[in-house]
Structure 1
Amino acid sequence: MKRVGLVVNPTAGRRRGAVLGRDVADGLRAAGHDVVDLSAPTASAARANAVRAVAHGIDVLVVVGGDGTAHLGVNVVAGTDTPLVVAGAGTGNDLAATLGWPVRDAAAVVRVVGEGVPRRIDAARRVEPDGSGAWFGGVLAAGFDSVVNERANRWPWPKGRMRYHLAILRELPVFRPIPYAVTVDGVTTRTEAMLVAVANGPAYGGGMRMAPDARVDDGLLDVVVVHAISRVELVRVFPRVFSGTHVDHPAVEILRGREVRLDAERVVAYADGERFAPLPLTCEVVPEALSVLT
C-alpha cells in the first residue's frame, strides 16, 4: 500500500481529464492505496497542495492531465525523492510519451503506481541569481513556435490543436527572423533565426520531434537553432518536425551543453507548453533531478 498524492486537471483533453482522474482514483483505492486528493480549482492552488503533501511525506505523486499538468508535477517533485507518475489525458502528452507513461488508461496507471520501476532522469531549471527557478522536463521553445503560442493563447476559440494551427496561419505572413545571442557552456553564437529550442526531451506540441536525439538521462541539453530562412521555406520545412527529419535541413543547427543562455528582444519562452519566462534567460540541466516510476 502506498500513500498517493493525486492532482487532476478536469479540463484536460476536452474534459476527459475529469473522467480519467475519477477512474484512476477509484482504481488506486481498489488496489489498496491511500489516495490523497490534492486537486484544486486553480493550478497554483493544486501545486501548493502538492508541495505541502511532498513535504509531509507521500510515496508517489500522480498527476492526471496534459503537458501543462505534467509541468506542474515536474515543478513539485524536482529535486526531491518523491517519484512522479503522469497519467496522460491531454492533447499533446509529450512527456508521457517520452517516458512511456499511460495515456487515457486508468488501469495502466494503477499498475505503474504499484509495480513501476524507479528511475531518475534529468530536468532543466531556469537559473536565477538567488538559486531559484522554475523547472521543465521536455522542451523550451523560444521563437516562431512561442510567438504562435502567445497568439493562440489570446484566443478563446477554437480549442485544442486547431487553435494552434490557425495561429500558425495568422503569424506566418508577418513573422520575421529574430536576432539571437545563444550561449552554450560559455560559447556565444550570434545569429538571426526562426526559432531556438532548448530540449531535455525530444518532443513538444503534441508529437513535434524538435530534438529527436535528445535524451532525458544524458546530462545534456540539445539546443536546436533554425537559422533564418524564407517564409516559403519555413512552410516547407516546419511539417517535417513531426518526423524529426527537419534536422537534416542545412539551416538547422544542433548544439549540446549543460548551461544555455538565450538573448533576444520581445520573445517569451514556453516550456512543456506553458508560458515560462521572457528572454533573456539562462537554464541548466540538473542530472537525475527527477524521480519517476515507469
Structure 2
Amino acid sequence: MEHPPGLDLGDARTDRTGSRVVLVVNPSSGAGRGAAVGDAALTRLRGLGHQVEQVVAPDAATAERLAARAVARSGSDAADALVVVGGDGVVHLGLNVVAGTGVPLGVVPAGTGNDLARAWGLPSDPVAAVDTVDACLRLRSVRRLDAVRTVPVDGAGGGPRWVAGVVAAGFDAVVNERANGWRWPRGAARYNLAIARELPVFRPVPYRLVLDGDVWETESLLVAVANTASYGGGMRIAPDASATDGLLDVVVVRPVPLHRFVRLFPKVYRGTHVELDVVEVRRAATVEVTVDGGGRHPRPIVAYGDGERLGSLPRRFTATPGAVAVLAPLPT
C-alpha cells in the first residue's frame, strides 16, 4: 500500500499497550482555557492507558528545559511522545524540544488562533485531538513535516531556534515587539492598540534578502518567511506555503501609502493579497534577511517565529525536510 509523502507508519501494527507521554500545558492559552483543557487531556490520556508525565513550570523557558530533559531519557524511561496543550506558542516550545530527535509531537489546540494545528490537519476539538494522539501512538503513525532552522548572522541577537510556521520580519514583527513591551491591555486588544500606534510612524525598511545565494534588495513594509500558510489567527500571509515541499515562501509587501496598506490587510485573511501588484512571493530553501545599514534605517528589526521572539536581524532561515514527526491524521 502506497502512503502520502511525509507519512511514516513504522510497522503499522496496533499497539494495545499505553505509551510514555510527556505533557506540557500552557494554562494561560485561549484566555485561560488552557488549564481546563490540559486537565481534561491529562485525565483522558491516562484513562486510555498511557503513562503521562506532566511538566509543570513557572515560565516557558523552564518548561522547555524540563521537557527536553524528560524527552532525552533513554531505556525504559524513554518518552514515546511529547504532547503540548495550548496555542502556537506552546507548539513552538514543543518543536524546539523534539526537532531532529525523532520523538513525535502531539498537539491539543487550546489557543485563540491555533494556526499550526490547522496547518497540520489536526482537529480543533480538544477531545478529538487527544483521540488523534492516542490513535497515532497505537498505530505508530506519524507525519514527517518540514521545520525552519534559524540562526543569527554576524553577531545578531538571539540563538538558534526552530520555527514551525511563519517568521515575521517587518511591520508585523515591529507590532509584536511594541505589544510585548506593554502589560496592559491584555489579549487581542493589546495588539490592536500596537497596530494603531505603529501605523502612523512606521516607514519602509531597506532589506537585503539572499535566497539560495541570489541577492534581492528591496524596500518593504512587510517581509514574511513562511513554512505554512497562516499566522496571527488565520491571516493567510502565504496561501500556497507547504510544510512538505522543502521550500520557504518569502512574501514581500512593497511601500504603499498608509490608506492603501490599511485596505490591504483584510485581503490577507483570504490570501488574495498575493494577487496585488505591490506583493511579491518568491521561494527558496535558505533565506537570509538583513536590514540595510548605512544610516538609512537605524531602527533594529526583531524577528518573530510562530509568534515568539527570535532575535534581531540579520538571521538565516533554512527549510529542513522531515525535521519534526507529528502525531497527525493522514492528509486528504
Match of 1:121 among 136, 141, 145: 145
Residues of 1 paired with 2:30 and 2:125: CA distance? 10
Deviations 1:171-222 (A, max 9, x none): 1111111110111001111111001000011111111100000000100000
Check the 8 A contact 2:91/2:107 in 1, yes or no: yes
Residues of 2 paired with 1:72 and 1:49: CA distance? 11
Residues of 1 paired with 2:248 and 2:223: CA distance? 12
Match of 2:128 among 108, 129, 136: 108
Match of 1:274 among 296, 308, 311: 308
Q: State the partner residue of 1:14.
A: 31
Check the 8 A contact 1:138/1:272 in 2, yes or no: yes
Q: State the AA in 1 paired with 2:94.
A: G
How much does 1:42 deviate?
1.2
Q: State the AA in 2 paired with 1:160.
A: G
Residues of 1 paired with 2:63 and 2:151: CA distance? 24
Residues of 2 paired with 1:192 and 1:164: CA distance? 24
Q: Give ranges in structure 1 of 5+ residues lacking alignment.
A: none
Deviations 1:80-109 (A, max 9, x none): 11110111111111101111223352x213
Q: State the partner residue of 1:246.
A: 273
**CA RMSD of superposed structures (Å):** 1.4
Residues of 2 paired with 1:36 and 1:43: CA distance? 17
Q: Give ranges in structure 2 of 5+ residues lacking alignment.
A: 1-17, 154-158, 292-298
Check the 8 A contact 2:211/2:285 in 1, yes or no: yes
Check the 8 A contact 1:6/1:35 in 2, yes or no: yes
Secondary structure, aligned partner of 1:215: coil
Residues of 2 paired with 1:85 and 1:282: CA distance? 27
Q: State the partner residue of 2:5.
A: none
Q: How many residues matched? A: 292
How much does 1:14 deviate?
1.2
Q: State the partner residue of 1:87.
A: 108
Check the 8 A contact 1:9/1:39 in 2, yes or no: no
Check the 8 A contact 1:66/1:89 in 2, yes or no: yes
Q: State the partner residue of 1:156.
A: 183
For the pair shown, the structure with the greater C-alpha radius of gyration is 2
Secondary structure, aligned partner of 1:146: helix
Residues of 2 paired with 1:128 and 1:171: CA distance? 26
Q: State the AA in 1 paired with 2:288.
A: R
How much does 1:160 deviate?
1.8
Secondary structure, aligned partner of 1:173: coil
Q: State the partner residue of 2:52.
A: 35
Distance 1:34 1:40, change over 3 A: same
Residues of 1 paired with 2:323 and 2:131: CA distance? 24
Q: State the partner residue of 1:262.
A: 289
Q: State the partner residue of 2:92.
A: 71
Residues of 2 paired with 1:121 and 1:128: CA distance? 23
How much does 1:137 deviate?
0.2
Check the 8 A contact 2:108/2:130 in 1, yes or no: no
Q: State the AA in 1 paired with 2:120.
A: L
The correspondence of residues 50-61 of structure 1 with structure 2, limited to 5 A, is: 50-56=67-73, 57-61=78-82
The correspondence of residues 190-229 of structure 1 with structure 2, limited to 5 A, is: 190-229=217-256
How much does 1:128 deviate?
5.4
Residues of 2 paired with 1:229 and 1:281: CA distance? 26
Check the 8 A contact 2:88/2:115 in 1, yes or no: yes
Check the 8 A contact 1:24/1:109 in 2, yes or no: no
Q: State the partner residue of 1:291.
A: 325
Deviations 1:3-54 (A, max 9, x none): 1100001111111000000000000011110000113111111111111111
Q: TM-score, normalised by structure 2?
A: 0.85
Residues of 2 paired with 1:149 and 1:93: CA distance? 17
